[in-house]
Amino acid sequence: MNNFKHQQQEFLPISVNVTGKKLLIVGAGKAALSKVRSLRRFNVSITVIGIKIDPAFLEIDNIHIIHKSYDPSDLDDFFMVYACTDNRHTNEIIREHCHARNILVNLADNPRLSDFISPAVYQEEDLTIAVGSNGKNVKQSIMIRENIKKNSGPDLTGYLSLEKTSLNGEKNRDRSQKPFVPKVILAGFGPGDPELMTLKTHRYLLAADIIFHDALVDSRFLEHYPARKIAVGKRCGQHHIQQVEINQLLVSAALSGKKVVRLKGGDPLIFGRAGEELQFLAENNIDVKIVPGITSAFAAAAQYGIPLTHREIGSSVAFCVGHNIAERELPQASTLVFYMGARQQCEISNILIKKGWNKNTPVALISNVSNPQSKVVISQLDQLCQHPLLQETPLLIIVGQVVKKMPEFEEIAPRTEKKKKHIFAV
């Protein structure tokens, strides 16, 4: 007689190839949302079916949402199914329908009846660590995974090589016997929208002991990371810490053995003073790794559909600092993008016209790039001194004929203001 039904459930830890597979989530509440967020990093097609759709689903890209009640025919052609409704009886019915079609199913509210469960996963490149508890203690599994993240970090593959055997048969010394090498990560946060931060930066932040961050970085978002956060940002008119002090803080933290991340808005190598910090750290024998970020010029161009280069009218683009431009040599480019120029709009206008730019050259002023409160004002070069245009900071100024190629140019030019949420596909 088969007594498996009465035995304790055991789940075999295996890795399933889900590349290109179709996954179905039945239900659209908090439980379903959690499943979708954990599955999005895989190359799969995700479909969500539900009557009451959690608003957070609308902020997630690249998933299919169907607003309807469940029907057994919805299961057709799916590889795996997650039953995540708020009704246990409905979830069990879905399970029966899946078994009739030989489809693996997970019940969010009842691991005991599930064909599979999703362990707490930490992945670093090709290495994956899964922590499971046979579905009995999910919180403990997550806690263990988070400890692995914090204590191992981006160099996880190195930390797991403690018992490797060398060619002569002797075991390598463990990492506690290796010489200590102080290190700082210079990482870009991106233009403001946290979803535009790179996965590599995210992983370093998870592993960090201390995060030194700029003023333009969303401090509320940083609360997701367990590290100590120290604000060292410098905003126009609000300088509260000098660059030399920041340099010393980075060196001191690295030499103390801490995992240090210096987090900068945008890209660290574009007007981020990373060059100064890199040089100082190198002079003090601190190893440095740089992680690039999306600079605001690229984000603004994507947000408002402005091609920074165009085959017909713009063959080159240059990034310029917006202050003290009278003392600088302006680059020869079809499109100029000025950073930090909110207070120098008139000066930028006068100098460009003096250097031969047509006074009718279109200009786009964009504030709070990539954020929901972002605004754009379209004008022309000679108007920057005539009218109080967009003054909000941080402000980006794009000068060039390419501005005319933005989809809504004819609607909003000249000198009109339009609020627009970001439209990135990430």
Say yes or no: 184 and 279 in one domain. yes
Give the type of residue at 28: A
How are beta strands 64-67 and 22-26 bridged, if at all? unpaired
CA–CA distance, 407 with 404 (Å, rounded to integer): 8
Percent of the chain with pLDDT over 90: 56
Write down the pLDDT at residue 61.
Answer: 82
Residue 77 designated active-site: no
Residue 98 covered by a domain: yes
Of residues 71, 35, 66, 72, the one with CA closest to residue 53: 66
Say yes or no: 333 and 290 in one domain. no
Write down the pLDDT at residue 178.
Answer: 63
Write down the pLDDT at residue 281.
Answer: 95
CA–CA distance, 216 with 363 (Å, rounded to integer): 24
CATH of the domain at 74: 3.40.50.720
pLDDT band of 97, cuts 50, 70, 90: very high
Q: Which of 104, 133, 152 is the last residue of a domain?
A: 152
pLDDT band of 251, cuts 50, 70, 90: very high
Which residue in the list 35, 74, 149, 214 is annotated as catalytic?
A: 214
CA–CA distance, 294 with 299 (Å, rounded to integer): 7
Say yes or no: 287 and 373 in one domain. no
CATH of the domain at 376: 3.30.950.10
pLDDT band of 184, cuts 50, 70, 90: very high
Residue 377 covered by a domain: yes
The least confident of 10-19, 199-208, 276-285 is: 10-19
Strand ranges in 208-299 using DSSP code E only, listed in sequence order = 210-213, 228-231, 260-265, 287-291
Residue 214 designated active-site: yes
CATH of the domain at 187: 3.40.1010.10
| Number of structural domains the chain divides into | 4
Residue 3 covered by a domain: no
CA–CA distance, 424 with 62 (Å, rounded to integer): 11
Q: Are the C-beta atoms of 244 and 168 separated by less than 8 Å? A: no
Write down the pLDDT at residue 299.
Answer: 96
Q: Which of 294, 325, 360 is the last residue of a domain?
A: 294
Q: Which of 272, 294, 316 is the last residue of a domain?
A: 294
pLDDT band of 9, cuts 50, 70, 90: low
Say yes or no: 354 and 377 in one domain. yes
Q: What mean pLDDT is predicted for residues 55-72?
A: 89
Write down the pLDDT at residue 270.
Answer: 94
- The per-residue pLDDT for range 303-324, each reduced to its tens digit, is 999 999 999 999 999 999 998 8
Say yes or no: 103 and 127 in one domain. no
Q: What mean pLDDT is predicted for residues 34-57?
A: 89
> 176 Cβ partners below 8 Å, 6+ apart?
none
CA–CA distance, 362 with 299 (Å, rounded to integer): 19
Domain containing 135: what range? 122-152
Write down the pLDDT at residue 138.
Answer: 58
Say yes or no: 94 and 128 in one domain. no
- The per-residue pLDDT for range 256-296, each reduced to its tens digit, is 999 999 999 999 999 988 999 999 999 999 999 999 999 99
Say yes or no: 194 and 282 in one domain. yes
Residue 185 covered by a domain: yes
> Is residue 121 over pLDDT 70?
no
Say yes or no: 144 and 187 in one domain. no
Range with top average pLDDT, 9-13, 23-27, 140-144: 23-27
Strand ranges in 287-382 using DSSP code E only, listed in sequence order = 287-291, 317-321, 335-339, 362-367, 375-380
Alpha helices of 126-198 — where are they, by DSSP H?
Answer: 138-152, 156-159
Write down the pLDDT at residue 83.
Answer: 96
> Is residue 240 over pLDDT 80?
no
Residue 85 covered by a domain: yes
Residue 62 covered by a domain: yes
- The per-residue pLDDT for range 50-62, each reduced to its tens digit, is 998 888 888 888 8
Say yes or no: 133 and 185 in one domain. no
> Is residue 158 over pLDDT 90?
no
Backbone angles phi, psi at 80, to 5 degrees: -140, 155
Three-class DSSP category at 311: coil
Q: What mean pLDDT is predicted for residues 318-341?
A: 92
Say yes or no: 301 and 413 in one domain. yes
Q: What mean pLDDT is predicted for residues 375-379?
A: 92
Say yes or no: 256 and 307 in one domain. no
pTM to 2 decimal places: 0.57
- The per-residue pLDDT for range 106-116, each reduced to its tens digit, is 998 888 899 98
CA–CA distance, 107 with 94 (Å, rounded to integer): 9
Q: Over the chain, what is the mean pLDDT?
A: 83
Write down the pLDDT at residue 41.
Answer: 81
Say yes or no: 371 and 395 in one domain. yes
CA–CA distance, 181 with 255 (Å, rounded to integer): 8
Q: What mean pLDDT is predicted for residues 226-251?
A: 81
Write down the pLDDT at residue 199.
Answer: 94
Three-class DSSP category at 317: strand
pLDDT band of 423, cuts 50, 70, 90: very low
The CA-atom distances, in angstroms, between 91 and each of 22, 207, 385 are: 19, 38, 65
Which residue in the list 229, 234, 258, 420 is annotated as catalytic?
A: 234
CA–CA distance, 221 with 214 (Å, rounded to integer): 13
Residue 385 covered by a domain: yes
> Is residue 426 over pLDDT 70?
no
Q: What mean pLDDT is predicted for residues 403-411?
A: 80
Residue 76 covered by a domain: yes
Write down the pLDDT at residue 169.
Answer: 44
pLDDT band of 224, cuts 50, 70, 90: confident
> Is residue 396 over pLDDT 90?
yes
Write down the pLDDT at residue 254.
Answer: 95
